[in-house]
Amino acid sequence: MNILSIYIGYITDLIIGDPYSFPHPVRYIGKLIKYTENKIRKIAKSDKGLKIGGFILWFVTVGITYLVTYTIIKLASFNPIVFLMANSFLIYTTLATKCLKDEAVKIYEVLKTEDIEKSRIQLSYIVGRDTTHLDEKEIIRATVETVAENTVDGIIAPMFYAFIGGAPLAMAYKAINTLDSTVGYKNDKYKDLGFASAKIDDIANYIPARISVVLMAIGSFILGYDYKKSCKIAIRDRKNHKSPNCAYPEGAVAGALGIQLGGTNMYFGQAVYKPTIGDKIREIETEDIIKTNKIMYATSISSIVIFTTICIAIF
C-alpha cells in the first residue's frame, strides 16, 4: 500500500506540481521554524546558547512535523482507501519534480528573450546567492547547478525516505531540508543557531547524494547522454564543493553534458572562486537548462523503479 501511495504521489507531482495558491505543508513548517526561532532568540543571547537553541529548534520542528504526519496517517488507517489517499497526498507534497522543471523553464524562456536583468530576477527566486551581477553564462550555470542539487533534495531523498518510512519519514526529511534552507547559513545571524540544522541536513542527504551518482547515470543513459563520464566526474570531483553532498549530483550532470560547473561567481560585485566541477569540453549554453531538466525527469523514473525493485526484493 505504501509503494502504491508513492506512485500516486509521484504521478500527482508530475501532473500538478506545487500551485502557488496551494497551502503547501512546507509553508507551515516554515512558520513553525520562524515562530520557534523567535522564542529561542528571546532566551538565548550567547553564541553557546544559540547553538544549543539550534538543536532545540531542530527537535521541535522535525518532531512536530513527524508526529503530526504520523497522527494523520494513523487516523486515516481505519480505511484502506482513506489511508491510501492521505499517504499519497502527503508524499506528493514532499516531491518537487514539476516545480523544479517549471522554475528552470521560466529562466530559460526569459534568457531566450535576451533580457538579462529579468533573468537575474527570475533566478533569484530559486537560489540563495546574489544574482545582481551575473552574466548570461553564470545564470545558466546557476540554474543547472540548482536543478542538479535539488534533484537530490526534491526527488531522490524524499522518495528514498518515503520507501523506508512512508509519509511520516518523508515529511520529517522535508522538515530537515527546510530547516537547512531557512537557518542553515554560516553568516553572523545563523552560524550558531543554524549549526545543527546544517549538519543534520548533510547527514540526511549523505546516502541519497551518493546513490544519485548511479541514478543520474542511468537517467543519462536513457537520454543518450554520456553516462560513463557522468559517473567518472561525479566521483572525481565529489570534494569540489563546500557541501559534502552537492558535488555528486552536480558532477553527474556536468559529466553527462560535457560542461563545467562551479568556478568564479560574482557576489555583491566581488569575484569569489569556487573549485570547478567537470571538464570544459564545450561552453555551457541555454539549452543545457532543458537537458538538465530531462536528466532530472529520467533520474526520477530510475529512482522510483530501482527503489521499488529493492523493496520487493527485500520484503
For residue 304, give the nearest of 2, 92, 1, 6 by alpha carbon: 6
Domain boundaries, the chain: 2-314
Show pLDDT as tens, one digit a residue, over the chain (315 residues): 789 999 999 999 999 998 877 888 999 999 999 999 999 999 998 999 999 999 999 999 999 999 999 999 999 999 999 999 999 999 999 999 999 999 999 999 999 999 999 999 999 998 877 888 889 999 999 999 999 999 999 999 999 999 999 999 999 999 999 999 999 988 889 999 999 999 999 999 999 999 999 999 999 999 999 999 999 999 999 999 889 999 999 999 999 999 999 877 655 455 667 899 999 999 999 999 999 999 999 999 999 999 999 999 987
Sign of CA dihedral 214, 232, 225, 158: positive
Long-range contacts of 178-182 (CB under 8 A, 24+ apart): 178/26, 178/29, 178/30, 178/33, 178/61, 179/33, 179/57, 179/58, 179/61, 179/62, 181/128, 182/30, 182/33, 182/34
Contacts of 53 (CB under 8 A, 6+ apart): 40, 41, 43, 44, 193
Question: What was the pLDDT predicted at 268?
Answer: 46
Contact 277, 262 (CB under 8 A): yes
Question: What was the pLDDT predicted at 55?
Answer: 97
Contact 127, 147 (CB under 8 A): no
